[in-house]
Amino acid sequence: MSMPLIDLEKKKLNLEMVTHGRLTWVYIEKPTRGEVTYLAEHFNFHPLNLDDVTSRIQRPKIDEYEDHLFIVLHFPVYDKENRVTTPSEVDIFIGENYLVTVHCSGDLKPLAKFFKECQIDEETRQTYMGRSSSYLLYHILDRLVNYCFPILNKVIENLEKAEDFIFARAVPETVREISLIRRDLISFRRVVHPQIGVVEALEREEYPFFKEDPEIYFGDIADHIRKIWDGLEDCKEVVDGLVDTSNWLTSHRIQEIMRILTIIMAIMAPGTLIASIFGMNVALPGGIDVGIISYTTLAVILFIMLLIAVAMLFYFRRRRWI
């Protein structure tokens, strides 16, 4: 299908394109109804697929048609402010002589950078657009998938830091840090996992307008995706281990506190018991009948209390409770 010419500046569309030979790459960022109308007028795309372009809740998928494919993919973008990975959707229409990429949020820098390179550099256009649309699609996906590795490395780095301070920081701070990492990891896994089936479908299937061997090129993309997933699985095991360790340390600290409090209460209990018993009818200083007997009685009571406390401490020590 050839690409019709149009005065984009006159139309004032949020749309750019670059052409090399018979292949045209149409790049749309943050699409509006105008861009969708343009695609409907100049391409034979299904109306439901065009509706999916403006929707941000589409699951990754491949819709196959006689002369083109419609592909929906999500790629992770790290939000530094909230410390969480969020999905960014890319919709792709690919035919024999054209490739249309629609990026809803505009936060995938590798995609925008690659398009600009093809737009301004003749050698880059010749290298990546001089063969086929499937070869260009491979390099687009390759750059987007490789963009996931620095985000994965950031998760691994945060896990290593958490491992270092889990024994040194206060419990609330440690729990908060591990919870943030766990939330980020869950979000990252939710983004990556659905892509595996889509890329593996590109690897398995043979489409008449794909000029490159899908098993070689898209198999390479699938290997990268699986490698990222394996890394996320390893991170999940580490996070689960850190959670168990944090819970154990918290439980151990609570037990230590309860042990000390129990020892204190055990030491005080005999004295309290003796004071309660003798406090009923024994003459002590401050009473009506104050004399030598009163002071002697007080000394005896205090000595008994001290003796019992020392004996209990000695017993606890022998039992290795303290």
Model pLDDT for residues 91-142, shown as the tens digit of each residue: 999 988 999 999 887 678 888 899 999 988 888 889 888 888 889 999 999 9
Helix, strand, coil shares, percent, the chain, to 5 = 60, 15, 25
- Cα of first residue to Cα of last residue in the chain, in angstroms, is 83
Q: pLDDT value at position 2?
A: 40
| pLDDT tens-digit readout, 54-87 | 877 788 899 988 888 999 999 988 888 888 888 8
Helix (H) or strand (E) holding 242: helix 214-278
Give per-residue pLDDT as tens, 261-292. 888 888 888 778 777 766 656 565 555 555 55
Q: CATH classification of 8-251, choosing from 3.30.70.2390, 3.30.460.20, 3.40.1160.10, 3.40.190.10?
A: 3.30.460.20
Note the pLDDT of residue 6. 47
**Has residue 217 got a pLDDT over 50?**
yes
Residue whose tokens read 């943050």 = 30
Q: Which of 150, 24, 147 is CA-nearest to residue 74?
A: 147
Report yes or no: 80 and 97 within 8 Å, Cβ to Cβ: no
- Whole-Å CA distances, 305 to 6, 35, 46, 293: 100, 89, 91, 18
Q: How far apart are CA 246 and CA 38, in angstroms?
A: 56
Residue 16 CB partners (closer than 8 Å, separation 6+): 8, 26, 27, 28, 115, 119
Model pTM?
0.75
| Dist CA 144 CA 147 (whole Å) | 5
